[in-house]
Amino acid sequence: MTDKQRPERQRIDVINARGEKVGQSSPQRDAKPSGRAARGAHLSQPANGTRAGRTATMTPPAMPATGAVAANDPHLDQDAMRVHERGASERGRKGRHGKAAAIVVGAVCAIYLGGCALWSHVYMPNTTINGESVAFKTPDAVAKEMSNKLGNYSLSASGDNVSLSLKGKDIDLKSDTSAYAADTMSKVNVWAWPVSIFTGNDLSAKADVSYSKERLDALVKAAVDSANQSATQPQSATATFDEKESKFVVVKEKAGTAVDADAVTKAVRKAILQGKSDLGLGESELVQPKYTSESAELTKAVETANKFVAAKQTLTANGKTVTTVEPKTIAQWITFGDDLSVSLNTDAIKQWASGDLSKSLNTVGTERKYQRADGKQVTVSGGTYGWSVDGDQLASTLASNIEGAKEASFDVPWSQKASEWNPGGADWGGRYLDVDLTEQHVRFYDGGKIIWESDFVSGDPTEDHGTPTGVYSINGNKGTDQTLKGLDENHDGQPDYTSHVNYWMPFITNLVAFHDAPWRSTFGGTVYQGNGSHGCINLPAAAAKQLYDITKVGDVVVVHG
């Protein structure tokens, strides 16, 4: 092979240990190192060419620059060169890849920031406000749509016999729609737009709506008043006395058809704020009962009332039971206030004590029957003597016991008492004056025996001066040496008579009395008919003196026919 036919050899710069270029080298083609060289050992040669000893000196190679080899490396390794070239190529490729990645990151950032800018002024896909889609719309567009809706707004409310239609202009409906739209946009998290455009934004907002409350109230009132003309009012749950159970029980409330104007107004206002065009009215807009069967106030009231009726009262007279105040009677005295407060009606208790109870217990003026000691059966009524209930005191005692839920037994308080408790019979005991108008004879009994008696002349019935019948008693006007002056019945300005008596024993105020009548000579028989007294019991002088001496204030006088 000629020199021209041989391939050109690669020239390599030779660099010394200090990094300086000292020459060029052409490696021998297919040259192989000696055995020692193959083992990595280099023998130092002396300058005169003589062989030195076998000592090997290892010289650490300096790091060559790119494209160069160490100057002290006399042999070139072709494989090492190829590895060197491949490293340079790898570094080039990595550089190109880094630049591409930077370009991608920059593009992504630009897209993200651009999206943030866009969705700050436009609602994202799948975005709703109060359930209505606003996707891809600007706040200004939403504000304009809302303004248009307000301008055309109308509401129809119906139900419960109410019919109400109104328009926005009827109530001067207004709203700051721009602020409303801006407020909703401020709730959007634009930084999360890469996710939100798929998941959506469900926004809720409350429009700052204004309107004339006076106009709205007037419209609602007119509609409700019209509906209520034929409506029925509800009835609250109440408490009533159950005679079978002897206690108060709850009666459930009853619904009505009357409409509550305030409730309707509240519902209409809410519908306007929500932008509704139709509103259905129902049970919640009706006038509700103030109290239901479940109301705590009613439950407490029934409990209190039942404590009252359970406080049974037993009334006695002289140790004998005269009546028992049962739950049925007490229930009539219990009142429930508008606030379901429970109280006793003391006036009702007084009325009962002075009315029904008095009729059953009082003996004053009532008909009484008895058998006189001589066997005569006598019936008498009228008079001022007997038992009489003190209604005020009884009512006070009953109220105190019942309000304290205290069951009690006590003696009836009396404004007046008789000698013994004997309803319908002689309650005056064994000492009394028996004045028999039919016989014109009076007997004074004491312990069943007559201790004094006499004929008399009573009031003249033919002159309408008959002596009143009934049970009475000698009163404190008893006295001697009295001057009697009659009434001015003939209207001449003067007493009809003037008479002097020595013994005066009145039993009907100070008008009707036992007294002596010195102007008379005959007593008993039928003298009283046509020639009787003005109502007094006229006695012979001696008999009058005897009676005056043995009577005392309080002695019972029974006058009968």
Give the angle subtended at the CA of 81 by the CAs of 75 and 84, to the nearest 5°. 135
109 is catalytic: no
**Cβ neighbours of residue 38 closer than 8 Å, sequence gap 6 or more:** none
Region of residue 130 (phi > 0: left; psi between -120 and 50: alpha; otherwise: beta): left
DSSP category for residue 291: S
How many whole angstroms separate alpha carbon 304 and alpha carbon 405? Answer: 9
How many whole angstroms separate alpha carbon 415 and alpha carbon 387? Answer: 8
3-class SS letters over 13-81: EEECCCCCEEEEECCCCCCCCCHHHHCCCCECCCCCCCCCCCCECCCCCCCCCCCCEECCCCCCCHHHH
Q: Would you say 507 and 434 are in contact if contact means Cβ atoms under 8 Å apart? A: no
Q: Would you say 537 and 455 are in contact if contact means Cβ atoms under 8 Å apart? A: no
Catalytic residue among 84, 515, 534, 560: 515
Residue of 14, 3, 11, 9 whose CA lies nearest to 29: 9
3-class SS letters over 86-98: HHHHHHHHHHHHH
DSSP 531-553: H-BSSSEEE-HHHHHHHHHH--T
Give the angle subtended at the CA of 478 by the CAs of 473 and 480, to the nearest 5°. 150
Distances (CA, A) of 90 to 86, 94, 96, 519, 528: 6, 6, 10, 171, 165
Q: Would you say 469 and 517 are in contact if contact means Cβ atoms under 8 Å apart? A: no
536 is catalytic: yes
Instruction: Give residue 537's identity as a one-letter amino acid code.
Output: I
How many whole angstroms separate alpha carbon 196 and alpha carbon 191? Answer: 9
Catalytic residue among 441, 534, 536, 560: 536
The catalytic site residues sit at 515, 536
